[in-house]
Structure 1
Amino acid sequence: MKSKRIIGKLSAVLLTISILTAIPVRQVYADAFKVVTLGANLTAKQKEDMLRYFNVTKEEANVIEVTNGEERKYLGDVADAKQIGTKSISSSYVEPTDKGGLDISINNMYWVSESMIRNALITAGIENAIVKASAPFNVSGTAALTGILKGFENSEGGQKIDEDKKKAANEEIVVTGDLGEKVGKDEAAKLINEVKTEVIKEKPQSTKEIQQIVTGVADEYKVKLSDEDVQRITALMGKINDLDIDFNQVKDQLKDVTGKLKTVLTSEEAQGFFSKLWSAIKAFFEKLFS
């Protein structure tokens, strides 16, 4: 009888184990908050290369694609066809964090800059995150822009971004990029950031007041704007003004952008000075010994 009871208990234990092992267990990864967006027109090898560049596997991150149609949906009203193109190539890595601000890096992008992305994310209401944007070869980067915002919304740590904020953020990048082709990307980002800071802080009551801020900042930084530039920036800032962003909540982020841009611009100015100095010295000796 005793042996029968032991066998019965063993059978019950084995049955319990078999039931537990048969139930599918949802695997929880430590990096579940990470999202990678891949350009839909990348080849299979290029997609694998992008995952290696972002240092994640398909099991460690939520991997989604961005199509050219999605680019046109969010950028079509403000970016021209040349900027968007017909294929989605650039990709992004998004990891929302609890602290640390915005840690942004880019690779192989000629039109989009780190400062442009940073400015747009502030407008979208994103405070803390690690963001990387890259492509297997040099591209404009518009697919990555669309992917970054899509990535936040598809992350377990992210939240649905207000549509008005999303549109304003996308438009901000396009306006900054177009201005950057005329005055330089970092100069353009600096101007837009300063104007946005003033608009959020002062909360102007009319389009005329916004325009005065635009022209005032441009004069202060000695950036020559065309009438069309002034109109586009004023229209953009009108939309940002309507978002009613709390200045106290974003002032540190805006200040951080300004500080980073000053460092970059000062470095560029120094490089330009020494480059001109070396050219002058070289020309002097060439003339002396000719």
Structure 2
Amino acid sequence: MRQILPLILIAFLVAAPVFAVSGFSVTLGEATSSNPSYKSAVMDYFKAKTDKDLQSADIKIVTASEVNEVSRGVTGRVYSPSQILSCAMVDLSYSDGIKVSVDTSKIRVVTPEMYASALRSSGIDRGYVVVTSPVPASGEAALAGVLKSYEIAVGEQIPEEAKRVSVEEIYLQSRLVNETNATGDRVAELFDEVKNRTQSQNLQDPADIQRVVVDVSQQMNINLTETQVQQVADSVAASQRVQGSLTEFKQRLEGVSQQVGGSGILDQIYAFLQSIYNYIMGIASP
């Protein structure tokens, strides 16, 4: 029996981090969290978008300092606490890829496909995401809250460089929407197609990636300037570079998603304990 106990302890230590996360999280902008009316409106919106009890969600606050940590280096813009209003909900029990729902009555520029494309640059390819704000907003800064929601739901930090790449991408997509008159979803489709071709062809040379951008944009009838082609190519190249640093996060995301997407956590804990009991009884039996 003494020989078995260390194995049981190790099994518990390995399983504990997985069972410690719910796969269901909400982030509130600090200005929304501090305003009872705003907070109530946002939580009511989230309730209408899920059949889960929000009481079971891990709810955290997104601060201006957290947003600025990434956005300052991308746009040079610094947000004050009163400007951090966007909120996000993430549910990893959704098993059919990634689905993003955006409150279009409040989020004016960034579309579901734009968020999904930027999230994929951070290694996120699954989950149900809801984005809203109590007041109108363009939506770019909300990405920081979405990324934090994933970190909470998964129980693993996303590398800072990967987050920066995603934020850069969402701001670039927004600029292209304004500069080319293409829809947000079309711009996101452009990015996704360039990423897919770059990855499938294992392109490393920036000139090769630029040629892919030109080919895809022409096929989609999106007119890009040489500068814009360069910007898209640089963004895609950066996305490809950070994928290697995302291995642990991707594995953790997959594991938690499978956990919460299957049987309930209590059922899983019971099954885990039952398997240990059966193992001990099998060893102890003559």
Structure 1 residue 34: Cα displacement: 1.6
- Does the aligned pair in 2 maintain the 1:71–1:142 contact within 8 Å? no
Paired amino acid for 1:64: K
1:36 match = 26
Which AA in structure 1 matches 2:178? E
Deviates more, 1:160-169 or 1:80-89: 80-89
Most deviating of 105-114 and 202-211: 202-211
Name the amino acid aligned to 1:159: E
Taking the TM superposition and a 5 Å limit, the aligned residue runs for 1:125-274 are: 125-155=123-153, 157-182=154-179, 183-244=182-243
Secondary structure of 1:224's counterpart equals: coil
* Contact persistence 2:27–2:62 (CA under 8 A): yes
Give the 3 Å change call, closer, same or farther, for CA 173–84 of structure 1 in structure 2: farther
SS at match of 1:59: helix
2:41 matched residue in structure 1: 49
SS in 2 for 1:180: helix
Question: Residue 99 of structure 1 is aligned with which of 74, 92, 95?
Answer: 95
Q: Any idea what SS the aligned residue of 2:60 has?
A: strand
Distance 1:152 1:211, change over 3 A: same
Tell me, what secondary structure is at the counterpart of 2:142? helix
Asked whether the equivalents of residues 92 and 131 of structure 1 are also in contact (C-alpha less than 8 Å), the reply is: yes
TM-aligned CA distance change 1:83 to 1:119, over 3 Å: farther
SS of 1:124's partner is: coil
Q: CA deviation digits over 1:54-113, x for unaligned, max 9?
A: 117663221111122222211222236399996111100011237221121000101211
Does structure 1 conserve the Cα–Cα contact (< 8 Å) formed by 2:89 and 2:131? yes
User: Taking CA–CA contacts closer than 8 Å with sequence separation of 6 or more, which of the two structures ends up with the larger relative contact order?
Assistant: 2
From the superposition, tell whether residues 111 and 86 of structure 1 become closer, same or farther in structure 2 (CA, over 3 Å).
farther
> Contact between 1:97 and 1:128, CA under 8 Å: does it hold in 2?
no
Q: How many residues align?
A: 217
Letter in 2 for 1:70: E
Q: Which stretch shifts more, 108-117 or 44-53? A: 44-53
Q: Distance in 2 between matches of 1:61 and 1:100?
A: 21
**How far 1:51 sits from its partner (Å)?**
1.3
Classify 1:225/1:38 alpha carbon distance in 2 versus 1 (closer, same or farther; 3 Å): same
1:257 alignment counterpart: none
Aligned equivalent of 1:78, options 74, 77, 86: 74
| Contact 1:71/1:84 (<8 A) preserved | no
TM-score (norm 2): 0.68
Q: Does 1:63 align with 2:59?
A: yes
Contact 2:85/2:133 (8 A) holds in 1? yes
Whether the aligned pair in 1 keeps the contact of 2:74 and 2:164 (CA below 8 Å) is no
Tell me the amino acid that sits aligned with residue 233 of structure 1.
V
What is the CA-CA distance between 1:158 and the residue it aligns to?
A: 4.5
Verify the 8 A CA contact 2:122 2:243 in the aligned structure 1.
Answer: no
SS of the equivalent of 1:81 reads: coil
Query: Structure 2: how far apart are the matches of 1:204 and 1:119?
Result: 19
Counterpart of 1:230, as a letter, is: V
Q: Is this contact kept in 2: 1:153–1:160, CA < 8 A?
A: yes
- Alignment partner of 1:136: what SS? coil
Structure 2's unaligned 5+ residue stretches are: 1-18, 245-249, 251-286
For the residues of structure 1 that align with 2:119 and 2:222, how far apart are their CA atoms?
24
The letter for the 2-side match of 1:50 is V
Q: Which runs of 5+ in 1 are unaligned?
A: 1-28, 251-290
| In structure 2, distance between residues paired with 1:84 and 1:185 | 27
Give identity over the alignment, percent: 25
Q: Which whole-Å CA distance do the structure 2 matches of 1:61 and 1:54 have between them? A: 11
Q: Using the alignment, how far apart are the partners of 1:47 and 1:244 within structure 2?
A: 35
SS in 2 for 1:127: coil
* Alpha-carbon shift at residue 237 of structure 1 (Å): 1.5
Q: Partners in 2 of 1:143 and 1:126 — Cα distance? A: 18
